[in-house]
Amino acid sequence: MSSTGKFKGWRLTLGLIVVPMVLAIVYYSFFAVDRFVSSAQVVVRQDGNNPGAQLPGLSMLLNGTNPASREETLYLREYIVSMDMMQLLEDRLHWVEQYSKQRNDPFFWLDKDTEREDLLKYYQRMVSAHYDETTGLLRVEVQAFSPELAEQMVKTILEASERFVNEVSHGIAREQMRFAQVELEGAKKHYTKRKEELLSFQNRNKVLDGKSSAQGRASIIDTLEGEHSKERAVLTQMLYKLHPDSPQVKQQQQRVNAIREQLNAEKRLLVSAPDGDQLNVVASRFQQLTLDAGIAEETYKTAVAALDNARIEASKKIRTLVTVVSPNTPQMALYPERLYNLATIFLALLLLYGIARFLIASIEDHRD
């Protein structure tokens, strides 16, 4: 190998391995600041009387099943890393001011006047929430430059998360109950109105049951028609035997006339009363009002049942936040992992160096 090739090899080694490693060692030795991690594990569980729900985290760990409230837990995960939570922590703990005091590590510098969007990116670097599909647990981690601040931030996040879960679940339950109550009030008013219309109709027409009255009137007419036919037959027989002017015939004729007049009066009351109070009309109207009142009553009963069901369903939607692992006060800094990071960087540089040497050798072979 020529001296020029050796020089290029040393220059490549120096540029791709030595210099980057020296910079990395200098950074991790003098600039990288310790970051303390406080964490907690929580789960959103459903309230209920199920005995197995008393220890949701333990039961899920033993059974290996996903929790029923997976969706709410995922909502909570997004809330924890959202701008709302970031602003809440700033209002309570003034975390921006405390993080901005660190000026040693350039990769974690933070300016107090940072824009909200960039501040959110920095916040999401320091605060994370990971959902475990197997156990259903949500792990919340906070990195801070002091153990006390890391623990305070985790505790504040859990307090805000508990309120968030309560507000969401109770809000859904209240909305469902409110809808059922509105429907019940409407059904109750409609039922009361229909009953009042029926009672008013009964009082105005002086009938308890229009259909029964009409049936009774029809029965009377049938009876009178039978009597009328019978008395006419008796009159006919008498005319064969007696003179038309005889007292017996006149008396029988008066009886037939009286029955006929009564029959005609009953028929007029049933179907052709001039004042519109015909019993068939009354019966028809009464039947319609009774049907409307019955439908309104069934609707009211259904609304009552729906309210009871809504109350049961609403109780099932109530969720609570259970802390399975409480926030801890870190005793030692977990980050940065200096030796691990330096070893990883060294291996990556060796890989990059090998790729570069391979490319250079390939180019030189094609050039020759």
CB-based burial label for 56 (10 Å; 0-12, 13-18, 19+): buried
Say yes or no to pLDDT of 122 above 70: yes
Cα 205-206-210 angle, rounded to 5 deg = 70
If we measure between CA atoms, which residue out of 124, 142, 143 comes closest to residue 33? 143
Residue 291 is assigned to a structural domain of this protein: yes
> Does pLDDT of 251 surpass 90?
no
For the segment 341-355, the average pLDDT, to the nearest whole number, is 92
Q: Is residue 258 part of a domain?
A: yes
Q: Which of 270, 283, 293 is nearest to 217 (CA)?
A: 270
Segment among 18-22, 51-55, 239-243, 317-321 with least mean pLDDT: 51-55
Q: How confident is the model at residue 5 (pLDDT cuts 50, 70, 90)?
A: low
The pLDDT of residue 27 is above 70: yes
Residues 231-269 as b/e (b if ≥16 CB within 10 A, e otherwise) read: bbeebeebeeeeeeeeeebeebbebbeebeeebeebbeb
CA distance 109 to 30: 15
10 is a domain residue: no
Report the distance separating Cα 20 and Cα 28, nearest Å.
12
Could you tell me which residue, 296 or 267, shows the higher pLDDT? 296
Is the residue at 215 inside a domain? yes
Contact 254, 248 (CB under 8 A): no
Q: How confident is the model at residue 46 (pLDDT cuts 50, 70, 90)?
A: confident
More confident residue, 235 or 254: 254
Comparing 215 with 60, which gets the higher pLDDT? 215
Question: Residue 141 in contact with residue 127, Cβ under 8 Å?
Answer: yes
The DSSP call for residue 335 is B
Residues 6+ apart with CB under 8 A from 350: 17
Percent of the chain past pLDDT 70, that is, above it, reads 71
What is the span of the domain harbouring residue 273? Answer: 205-314
Global pTM? Answer: 0.59
Range name among 123-137, 223-237, 257-271 with the lowest pLDDT average? 257-271
pLDDT band at 284 (very low <50, low <70, confident <90, very high): low
* pLDDT for the residue 59: 46
What pLDDT does residue 317 have? Answer: 61
pLDDT of residue 77: 94
Is the pLDDT reported for residue 319 higher than 70?
Answer: yes
Residue 55 lies in a domain: no
- Around Cβ 28, how many Cβ atoms within 10 Å? 16
Tokens of 223: 């009876």
Q: Is pLDDT above 50 for 60?
A: no
**Residue 99: pLDDT over 90:** yes
Name residues whose C-beta falls within 8 Å of residue 9's C-beta, 6 or more positions apart in sequence: 1, 357
Helical axes 3-13 vs 338-367, angle rounded to 10°? 150
Number of domains in the chain: 1
Asked if residues 154 and 140 have their Cβ atoms less than 8 Å apart, the reply is yes
Which residues lie closer than 8 Å to 342 by C-beta, 6 or more apart?
Answer: 21, 24, 25, 28
> What pLDDT, on a 0 to 100 scale, did the predictor assign at position 210?
46
Residue 213's identity, in one-letter code, is: S
Indicate the pLDDT class of residue 235, thresholds 50, 70 and 90.
Answer: low
Indicate the SS3 state at residue 364.
helix
pLDDT average, residue stretch 148-176: 85
Residue 64 has pLDDT above 50, yes or no: no
Cα(1)–Cα(121) distance, integer angstroms: 51
Predicted confidence at residue 119, as pLDDT, reads 94
Across the range 65-71, mean pLDDT stands at 58
227: tokens are 């009597």
Q: What is the mean pLDDT of the chain?
A: 78
Instruction: Write the single-letter amino acid at 275.
Output: D
Q: What is the mean pLDDT of residues 331-350?
A: 90
- In-domain check, residue 92: no
174-177 own/partner pairs: CB under 8 Å, 24+ apart: 174/314, 176/310, 176/313, 176/314, 176/317, 177/307, 177/310, 177/311, 177/314
Q: What average pLDDT does the segment 121-128 reach? A: 95
> What's the confidence (pLDDT) of residue 55?
44
The answer as to whether 327 is a domain residue is no
Query: Which pLDDT score is estimated for 206?
Result: 58
pLDDT tier at 213 (50, 70, 90 boundaries)?
Answer: low
Q: What 3-state class would DSSP assign to 33? A: coil
Which of 14-18, 259-263, 299-303 is predicted most confidently? 14-18
Decide if 189 is inside a domain: no
Query: 332 or 241: whose pLDDT is higher?
Result: 332
Do residues 12 and 127 lie in contact, with contact meaning Cβ atoms separated by under 8 Å? no
